[in-house]
Amino acid sequence: MKNILLLCTGNSCRSQMAHGYLNILTEGKVNIFSAGIETHGINLGAVSIMKEDGIDISNHTSNNVTEYTEIDFDYILTVCDHANENCPYIPSKNAMRLHHNFFDPSKVIGSDEEKHAAFLKASTEIKDYVKDFVRTHLATSKL
């Protein structure tokens, strides 16, 4: 089974949403890990927007990347520039590393409607990216 790491700064929002979508799209046929170079706890806005899309991430935990040093990853996906630029060495022999800097909805200050719109924008971008990743990298291989 493939091992996939989703890496963000605080493992609270973008990596958690990607984890939720990846889990659904791969139907549990890959091992998915999400982590941050720091841990900030799960963002309630991310939990809420994913629930609107029928995905429950409320039981996810915020993990530090150092917890996964013994896992040989097939893919490491960084979802923010900060994590991509500051990630510690991850000793995976043949991991394909992919990067996409997603908009951070947790940084939006404004009304509840503006915050909701920000999380919706980010979740839509992340869902599209994860769908493309699965189609491009996993669809032709054995999950």
Residue with tokens 């509840």: 112
Q: Is residue 88 over pLDDT 80?
A: no
Choose between 85 and 22: higher pLDDT. 22
* 13 is known as an active-site residue: no
102: closest CA among 18, 30, 24? 18
Whether 87 is catalytic is yes
Q: Which helix (H) or strand (E) covers residue 36, if one does?
A: strand 31-36
Q: Which domain holds residue 80?
A: 3-137
CATH of the domain at 32: 3.40.50.2300
- More confident of the two residues 54 and 28: 54
Flag whether 143 is in a domain.
Answer: no
3-class state of residue 81 by DSSP: helix
What is the count of structural domains for the chain?
Answer: 1
Per-residue confidence band for 101, with pLDDT thresholds at 50, 70 and 90: very high
In the structure, what pLDDT confidence band is assigned to residue 143 with cuts at 50, 70 and 90?
very low
4, 80, 95, 118: which is the annotated catalytic residue?
80
Residue 64 lies in a domain: yes
Question: Residue 142 — pLDDT band, cuts 50, 70, 90?
Answer: very low
Confirm whether 85 is domain-assigned: yes
User: Which candidate, 45, 33, 47, 36, places its Cα nearest to that of 5?
Assistant: 33
Tell me what the pLDDT averaged over the chain comes to.
92
- Asked if residue 142 is part of any domain, the answer here is no
